């Protein structure tokens, strides 16, 4: 599966893209992070309305590309917030996600809400907070999206967080603690993947990494990419594929039932 960042939905030709993906036989998902001017957790109804328009457009795009998954920071802005979230803002985000879920349902699209570290949202930093947020949204096509890079900062137990989400986990990012090559940092992927196997997770597992070599200056600056941990994206990607498919097979064996 290839995940397309839909930060700029007008940036590509959807029909041409779909034809290419079908030609090479790869499935597609969409992701995005809202911005301070499209933040559905804002207290400002105009900003919330702008955010909902962006999200509906992204749902349409995913469906037009033949995908069924929209993930990422759909409930908040990808930004270091200057202060804590408010009840009113959180309520706005919950209401917006309910409306978006019903809209997405008409397109056969599921939403997975990415849990991010404290510097990239002030609203949902842990799986526990995410499950509470899902309870409040109360729509079956809204699930959680876990990312190992963020979990390494916020979760007390990465495996414990996976086990807690159970069948409400809809999407997974594997990223290293330093956002570079898998296995070049501090994350214990073995115990994370064993937990995924234990809950019978069968959804997407997508590798994510950032370098100014391929990421635009705006997103690089938001994410704080001040140094590059790789230059060649082909080598990075093929290594990630080998690393994670091998680690998944190990985890499958580790959690295999023998009796």
- Is 252 known to be catalytic? no
**Member of 139, 185, 219, 239 binding a copy of itself (CB under 8 A):** 185
How many of the chain's residues bind a copy of itself (CB under 8 A)?
A: 33
Label residue 223 exposed, middle or buried (CB < 10 Å: 0-12, 13-18, 19+): middle
Cα–Cα distance measured from residue 175 to residue 211, given in angstroms and rounded to the nearest whole number: 13
Does position 224 bind a copy of itself by CB under 8 A? yes
Q: Which of 114, 120, 154, 155 is catalytic?
A: 114
- Is 155 known to be catalytic? no
Taking the complex as a whole, the smallest distance from the CB of residue 148 to a copy of itself amounts, in Å, to 10
First to last CA, the chain: 34
Query: Which two three-digit tokens encode residue 243?
Result: 């690393």
β 169-174/142-147 pair status: parallel
Looking at beta carbons only, is 58 or 78 nearer to a copy of itself? Answer: 78
Does position 141 bind a copy of itself by CB under 8 A? no
Cα–Cα distance measured from residue 224 to residue 231, given in angstroms and rounded to the nearest whole number: 17
Asked if residues 131 and 166 have their Cβ atoms less than 8 Å apart, the reply is: no
Does position 82 bind a copy of itself by CB under 8 A? yes
Looking at beta carbons only, is 223 or 248 nearer to a copy of itself? Answer: 223
Does position 196 bind a copy of itself by CB under 8 A? no
Taking the complex as a whole, the smallest distance from the CB of residue 91 to a copy of itself amounts, in Å, to 17
Cα–Cα distance measured from residue 83 to residue 44, given in angstroms and rounded to the nearest whole number: 16
In order, the DSSP letters of 140-199 are TTEEEEEEHHHHHHH-S-HHHHHHHHGGGEEEEEE--TTSSSTTSSS--HHHHHHHHHHT
Which SS3 state, helix, strand or coil, does residue 231 take?
coil
Interacting stretch for a copy of itself, rule CB under 8 A, among 29-37, 53-61, 65-73, 83-91? Answer: 83-91
**Member of 19, 88, 102, 118 binding a copy of itself (CB under 8 A):** 118
**Member of 2, 20, 53, 153 binding a copy of itself (CB under 8 A):** 153
What percentage of the chain's residues is helix, strand, coil (to nearest 5)?
50, 15, 35
Does position 198 bind a copy of itself by CB under 8 A? no
Looking at beta carbons only, is 86 or 198 nearer to a copy of itself? Answer: 86
In the sheet that 28-34 helps form, which strands lie side by side, from edge to edge?
2-5, 28-34, 69-77, 110-114, 142-147, 169-174, 205-207
Looking at beta carbons only, is 102 or 188 nearer to a copy of itself? Answer: 188
Query: Which two three-digit tokens encode residue 6?
Result: 């839909």
Looking at beta carbons only, is 141 or 178 nearer to a copy of itself? Answer: 178
**Member of 127, 147, 155, 194 binding a copy of itself (CB under 8 A):** 155
Residues lying near a copy of itself in the complex (CB under 8 A) are found at 80-85, 118-119, 122-123, 125-126, 129, 152-156, 158, 177-178, 180, 184-186, 188, 217, 221, 223-227
Would you please indicate which residues are annotated as catalytic (active-site) residues?
114, 208
């Amino acid at each position: 599966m290839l995940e397309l960042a839909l930060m700029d939905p007008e940036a590509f030709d959807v029909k041409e893209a779909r034809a290419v993906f079908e030609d090479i036989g790869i499935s597609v998902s969409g992701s995005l992070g809202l911005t301070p001017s499209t933040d559905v957790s804002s207290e400002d109804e105009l900003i919330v309305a702008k955010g909902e328009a962006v999200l509906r457009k992204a749902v349409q795009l995913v469906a037009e590309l033949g995908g069924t998954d929209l993930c990422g920071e759909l409930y908040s802005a990808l930004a270091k917030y200057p202060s804590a979230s408010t009840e009113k803002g959180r309520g706005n985000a919950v209401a917006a996600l309910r409306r978006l879920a019903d809209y997405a349902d008409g397109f056969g699209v599921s939403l997975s809400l990415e849990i991010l570290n404290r510097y990239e949202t002030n609203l949902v930093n842990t799986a526990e907070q995410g499950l509470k947020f899902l309870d409040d949204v109360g729509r079956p096509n809204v699930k959680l999206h876990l990312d190992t890079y963020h979990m390494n900062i916020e979760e007390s137990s990465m495996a414990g967080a996976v086990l807690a989400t159970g069948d409400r986990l809809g999407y997974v990012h594997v990223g290293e603690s330093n956002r570079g090559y898998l296995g070049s940092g501090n994350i214990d992927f073995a115990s994370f993947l064993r937990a995924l196997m234990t809950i019978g997770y069968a959804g997407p597992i997508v590798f994510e990494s950032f370098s100014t070599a391929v990421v635009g200056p705006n997103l690089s600056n938001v994410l704080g990419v001040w140094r590059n941990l790789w230059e060649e994206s082909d080598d990075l990607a093929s290594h990630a594929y080998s690393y994670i498919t091998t680690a998944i097979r190990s985890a499958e064996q580790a959690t295999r039932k023998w009796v």
